[in-house]
Amino acid sequence: DDVRLWGGRFADGPAEALAKLSASVHFDWRLAPYDIAGSRAHARVLHTAGLLTADELERMLDGLDRLEKDVAAGTFTGTVADEDVHTALERGLLERLGPDLGGKLRAGRSRNDQVATLFRMYLRDHARIIGGLVTDLQEALVGLAEAHADVAMPGRTHLQHAQPVLFAHHVLAHVQSLSRDAERLRQWDERTAVSPYGSGALAGSSLGLDPEAVAADLGFERGSAGNSIDGTASRDFVAEFAFITAMIGIDLSRIAEEVIIWNTKEFSFVTLHDAFSTGSSIMPQKKNPDIAELARGKSGRLIGNLTGLLATLKALPLAYNRDLQEDKEPVFDSCDQLEVLLPAFTGMMATLTVNRARMEELAPAGFSLATDIAEWLVKQGVPFRVAHEVAGECVKECEARGIELDGLTDEQFAAISPHLTPEVRSVLSVPGALASRSGRGGTAPSAVAVQLGEVKADLAVQ
Ligand code: ARG
């Protein structure tokens, strides 16, 4: 039996090689529940337009309900002979309702406006799922920050010791970037709340159907597409979604890279929980940070999904082109990857142990209080240019003697500069350096407490 939706003008069926190339049902089947929801909404506007009687509508909706149950139960599935999910589900409806009624549903719609609509619905649902998983990770990170609110660590630039910071401050920096990702998902969702259903193949419909009613029925808060060509041909919503998921991957990879480094013998800043680490098949002693490494690796894959999609879209003429069938697998994959990665990543972050003693031992190392000397001198009226030079001299002296800044004697300080009176020692402590950076966004315990409060308030409404 020929299931094609377009056989009429063809003398021959498709070559097997074409059918194999053309088929998308193995990856677009996940749109089936959305396709059926779209069909219900479409049946209703066909009825409103006088193209289905009340009785026909009722039987149509009943057929769709039965089809939906069979799809959910797995007793009806698409086959290789079905070109795509839309074809498969029309076959399912015809099997349940017979050709006379089943064959009426396709009036006034095209797979072009269907797929553009269903794809939006699918991605909107997954934007919420992924957003929720990002929130879970943020909550785990906030928990980690709160549990170590007074732990100092070496803050780094260029991966070199820079200035001491609070561990909580560092962790909250990651929470901030994840907040922007979550916000991007919400703003994307708002922008994507426009339904292309009713655009037809590209030009709209002559049948007097109401696209706004379909849009409302399917939960598109911003109504139906204002331009049927754009409705069927635009995929910037997909590209933007792929960007946001890639950005989440990149943000995870930056945390991951730090966890991997922190978990080394040399750093020994953190220890991963056994349940969130893996072993080696040959080296019995090994305990590896595989979750973090998979996050780092998968971020590359998420970037690839974005760039591949952008390349597909580049220079495509209006309106629909079959190239657009290539738009789904990359972002379906991005959803799948993040939906398995995020829960594991959150578990890893929620259960790791922080080695406070090690972090605090290294917090002042590498002359990380040199800026404090310079800023102390500025407060004594020394121009910063000179202060910077003088603090640099202190570092040079320490390097030559193999000591840290607080190891310099009063005489050695005075020999470097008469401005360096013994009072300079007041800023040569990590707690002093932290507490002095008390402005908004700074690393002082008081400022980090304010930040923590703001982040938690944001999370409560996110
Ligand atoms: N399966 C197609 C896609 O994913 C939709 C079908 C449109 N096909 C067509 N020949 N107009 O984009």
Q: Residue 39, exposed/middle/buried by CB under 10 A (0-12, 13-18, 19+)?
A: buried
In testing the pocket of ligand 1, which one of 320, 329, 331 has its CB within 8 Å of the most ligand atoms? 320
**Nearest CA, atom 2, ligand 1:** 325
**pTM assigned to the model:** 0.95
Shortest-distance atom of ligand 1 to CA 83? 1
Q: What percent of the chain has pLDDT over 90?
A: 93
Distance 109 CA to ligand 1 centre (A): 12
pLDDT of residue 153: 98
Q: Is the ipTM of this complex over 0.85?
A: yes
Beta pairing partners, 152: 166
Distance 201 CA to ligand 1 centre (A): 10
Q: Does 2 score more than 90 pLDDT?
A: no
pLDDT tens for residues 243-289?
999 999 999 999 999 999 999 999 999 999 999 999 888 888 888 99
446 is catalytic: no
User: Half-sphere exposure of residue 248, counting CA atoms within 13 Å on the CB side?
Assistant: 29
pLDDT tens for residues 201-233?
999 999 999 999 999 999 999 999 999 999 999
pLDDT tens for residues 66-119?
999 999 999 999 988 899 999 999 999 999 999 999 999 999 999 999 999 999
CB-based pocket (< 6 A), ligand 1: 24, 28, 84, 111-112, 115, 320, 322, 324-325
86 is catalytic: no
Tell me the one-letter amino acid at 194. V
Under 8 Å between Cβ of 345 and 295:
yes
DSSP string, 118-174: HHHHHHHHHHHHHHHHHHHHHHHHHHHHHHTTT-EEEEEETTEEEEEEEHHHHHHHH
Distance 119 CA to ligand 1 centre (A): 12
pLDDT tens for residues 135-174?
999 999 999 999 999 999 999 999 999 999 999 999 999 9
Reduced to 3 states (helix: H, G, I; strand: E, B; else coil), residue 365 is coil
